[in-house]
Amino acid sequence: GQNIDQPTEMTATEGAIVQINCTYQTSGFNGLFWYQQHAGEAPTFLSYNVLDGLEEKGRFSSFLSRSKGYSYLLLKELQMKDSASYLCAVRDGHQLIWGAGTKLIIKP
């Protein structure tokens, strides 16, 4: 079956670093995505990994290990505006399979 697991909720402090994990079991794999979704808004693209390793983009980095079915999103220098849900998704053929999302709460 298709399964993507993420923690439901995480809390971190402004200025700190947080790592959001995602594990997946899918019948196919053509890339892994991370999206950010603020409450009441549409998801917006953060990162894409198709090869093993780390992709860095400003304060955000994403890591992929295909052999372990594992990815993480690393957020540095947390800001209050980073309070949002973070969605992990795997492309399998024409379709994206989505995790339920991790709600990140930032405290001052």
Partner 1 sequence: NAGVTQTPKFQVLKTGQSMTLQCAQDMNHEYMSWYRQDPGMGLRLIHYSVGAGITDQGEVPNGYNVSRSTTEDFPLRLLSAAPSQTSVYFCASSYSTGATEAFFGQGTRLTVV
Binding site for partner 1 (CB under 8 A): 4, 30-31, 33, 41-45, 48, 87, 89, 93-101
CB nearer partner 1, residue 33 or residue 63 = 33
CB nearer partner 1, residue 81 or residue 94 = 94
CB of 60 to partner 1, least distance (A): 14
CB nearer partner 1, residue 17 or residue 50 = 50
Please report, as a single letter, which amino acid is at residue 27.
S
